[in-house]
Structures are given as structure tokens and as C-alpha cells.
């Protein structure tokens, strides 16, 4: 039996379609011809962080991957598949890893409570804390420590993105590809550029630079 909430979703879709057609009768016909987004967005699954709306983008302009705490995990075939398709098929030029203040995954990683299956995912976030515990443990104010952890986690994901063979192979082949790290403020709607940017693997430590010449 359909609930009123479910019915409202169908009605909202019809209203949305009508509003788009009123502004551009060919809106959906243009989308039908394929997608050529310039941007891949790797963000958090949190329902308060809608990628397109945050940057004022239209359908077709952002390719999106989302998971708990916007993680770039090297064994995550879902994320790697999205990344590979975005870089090698869509030829995107920019990748933004966007964290957000108040992230539930980051908060969970700061404690030791068990949440079930998701504990296996949160462990990756705890590894980030372990790498930065000297800085984080010195922050007495819990909210400030929480916010800083959000920022550090996002930065680490940008680094991990740059270390992937997909990104490094693209750079080696001359693909113009830029990586960025942002944090979104839910209470303000404003994004903070963390000033962590990559455009080639020479910006990484030498032991992370993959050499394909011997293959």
C-alpha cells in the first residue's frame, strides 16, 4: 500500500519535469544525447550534502560517487569502477573529494562504540585518526577536534586518490586531471577549499609514484 509520502515523490517528479520543460522545452532531449560532465564528485552519503545543489550544477554536469565519510579506499571496487569510468570513459578534468562538518562516520570513528557491519568501514576512518593523533589529541575542545578530523580525513582521501593507478596512469598519458579537497558546512552552506590540490604524481612522495615503464 502506497503511503502519502511515497505518493508525494511521484507528484514532485511531475512538477519538477514541468518546471524544467517550461524553462527549456528541449531539456530532457539534450540529456538523452549522453553525458559529458567535467567533474567527478566523491562525497558523503549524508542526505544533507547534495552534490549538484551545493555548486549550482545542472543534471549532466557532475558525475557522483558517495559513501560514508567520502572515503577513497583502495580495495573498494565500487569507488574504483566509478573513478575508472569517469577518468577513462568520460574524460573528466576535475575530481573533488568533499567532506562535511558534522559527519556521522567521522564522529563514530572518534569513539569505540560498535555499530555492526559498518564497523569494518569505520576502521578505515580510524586509521586516518591514528596517523594524525598527535595533532588531534592536543585539541581540547571536542567540536574543534571533530571539525579538524573532518578536514584531515578529506585531505587524506585526496592523497589516496592521487596514489591510485587510475589517476597516475591518466597523468602519465597526458590527461589533464586536477584533484581537490573541500569541506562543506551544513550550518552555512559554504564550502571550504582545503588547498590540497594535485595535477601530477611528482607532487607525491617518490615511493608513491608508479612507474609503468617496466611493464
Mean pLDDT of 92-100: 98
Tell me the whole-structure pTM to 2 decimals: 0.92
Which pLDDT does position 209 carry in this prediction?
81
**From 65, 98, 103, 147, active-site residue:** 103
**From 65, 98, 100, 160, active-site residue:** 100
Active-site residue 126, yes or no?
Answer: no
- Asked if residue 111 lies in contact with residue 158, where contact means CB atoms within 8 angstroms, the answer is no
Question: Whole-angstrom Cα distance, residue 156 to residue 160?
Answer: 6
Q: What is the pLDDT of residues 22-75, one digit of tens each?
A: 999 999 999 998 999 999 999 999 999 999 999 999 999 999 999 999 999 999
Active-site residue 44, yes or no?
Answer: yes
Active-site residue 103, yes or no?
Answer: yes
**From 4, 24, 36, 44, active-site residue:** 44
What is the chain's Cα-based Rg? 19
pLDDT of 215 > 70? The answer is: no
**From 46, 147, 160, 180, active-site residue:** 46
**From 36, 48, 123, 131, active-site residue:** 48
The residue assigned the cell 560517487 is 65
* Range in 68-77, 83-92, 201-210 the model is least confident about: 201-210
Active-site residue 209, yes or no?
Answer: no
List residues bridging with 41 in a β-sheet: 64, 96
The pLDDT-based confidence of 2 (bands split at 50, 70, 90) is low
Angle at 176 between CA 174 and CA 179, to 5 degrees: 125
Amino acid at each position: 500500500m502506497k503511503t502519502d509520502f511515497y505518493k508525494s515523490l511521484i507528484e514532485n517528479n511531475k512538477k519538477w519535469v514541468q518546471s524544467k520543460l517550461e524553462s527549456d522545452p528541449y531539456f530532457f532531449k539534450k540529456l538523452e544525447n549522453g553525458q559529458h560532465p567535467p567533474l567527478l564528485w566523491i562525497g558523503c552519503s549524508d542526505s544533507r550534502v547534495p552534490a549538484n545543489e551545493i555548486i549550482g550544477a545542472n543534471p549532466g554536469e557532475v558525475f557522483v560517487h558517495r559513501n560514508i565519510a567520502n572515503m577513497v579506499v583502495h580495495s573498494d571496487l565500487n569507488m574504483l569502477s566509478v573513478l575508472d569510468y569517469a577518468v577513462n570513459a568520460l574524460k573528466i578534468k576535475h575530481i573533488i573529494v568533499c567532506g562535511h562538518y558534522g559527519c556521522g562516520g567521522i564522529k563514530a570513528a572518534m569513539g569505540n562504540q560498535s555499530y555492526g557491519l559498518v564497523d569494518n568501514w569505520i576502521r578505515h576512518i580510524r586509521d586516518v585518526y591514528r596517523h594524525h593523533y598527535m595533532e588531534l589529541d592536543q585539541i581540547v575542545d571536542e567540536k574543534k577536534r571533530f571539525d579538524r578530523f573532518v578536514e584531515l580525513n578529506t585531505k587524506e582521501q585526496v592523497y589516496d586518490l592521487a596514489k591510485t593507478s587510475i589517476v597516475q596512469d591518466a597523468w602519465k598519458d597526458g590527461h589533464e586531471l586536477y584533484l581537490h579537497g573541500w569541506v562543506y558546512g551544513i550550518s552555512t552552506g559554504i564550502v571550504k577549499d582545503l588547498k590540497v590540490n594535485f595535477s601530477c604524481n611528482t607532487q607525491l612522495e617518490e615511493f608513491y609514484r608508479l612507474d609503468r615503464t617496466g611493464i
